[in-house]
Structure 1
Amino acid sequence: MSTFVTFYAIVMVIRFIIMIAFIGLFVLIVRALLKYIKSKDVRQEKSAVRKSLGEALKEHRTRCKMTQEFVAEMIGVSRQAVSKWESGTSDPSTSNLFAIAKLYGISVEELLKEVE
């Protein structure tokens, strides 16, 4: 009988330790999720900042409801050049960057501020 009581006591202690471990793990998961949820604004801000120049150019062009062809005609380049700028294959020259910013109704500084 004594062996059974000792074995039962050991099993109960092990169960208690496992239960405490699961509670601790649960608390850590809840804390991590709360921290992640509270960081939503920071994550959105970082994703807005982490743009390439091409992504920023495309975003502003679509915001202004312009086609690549229209932008190309307005600044005097080919549609393929605008496509390359937006895809990141190449970058616009400084003069073209100023023309694009003016066409989109923003300053060059504002446009470049968005770029990583």
Structure 2
Amino acid sequence: MKITVIMVVINLIFVSIFVSLIILIIRALLKYIKSKDVRQEKSEVRKSLGEALKQHRTRCKMTQEFVAETIGVSRQAVSKWESGTSDPSTSNLFALAKLYGISAEDLLKEVE
């Protein structure tokens, strides 16, 4: 009789642990599903430096040639920066940020 009671108690403990685990898994999955918009927004926010530079240039309605002439580099240099082939020097990065009306820090915060 004692063994039967002990077995029932052990079974109840295992069932309660199993149910608790299932509840935790369901809660985690629901939280993950609800966070889809946040995850998607973060992936959209993260971009390369070239993508950020191009986005700001087009936002300001500037051509690569205008940007190049304004900061004193070739149009090909601006094209390489935007395509990710090369990165601007620190001084050029500051010049670009100033030209686009943002701080260099904010520009770099947009980058992965």
What is the TM-score of this pair, normalised by structure 2? 0.69
Is 1:97 equivalent to 2:93 in the alignment? yes
Report the secondary structure of 2:107's partner residue. Answer: helix
Report the secondary structure of 2:61's partner residue. Answer: coil
Report the count of equivalent residues.
86
- The alignment yields a C-alpha RMSD, in angstroms, of 2.0
Q: Quote the sequence identity (%).
A: 74
Q: Deviations over 1:48-71 (max 9, x none)?
A: 1x2110000000001111000000
What is the TM-score of this pair, normalised by structure 1? 0.66
Is 1:83 equivalent to 2:82 in the alignment? no
Q: Distance in 1 between matches of 2:48 and 2:83?
A: 9
For the pair shown, which has the larger CA radius of gyration, 1 or 2? 1
Within the candidate set 43, 47, 72, 1:51 is matched to: 47
- In structure 1, list runs of 5 or more residues that go unmatched: 1-27
Q: Distance in 1 between matches of 2:95 and 2:103?
A: 10
Runs of 4 or more, structure 1, over 2 Å off, are 32-38
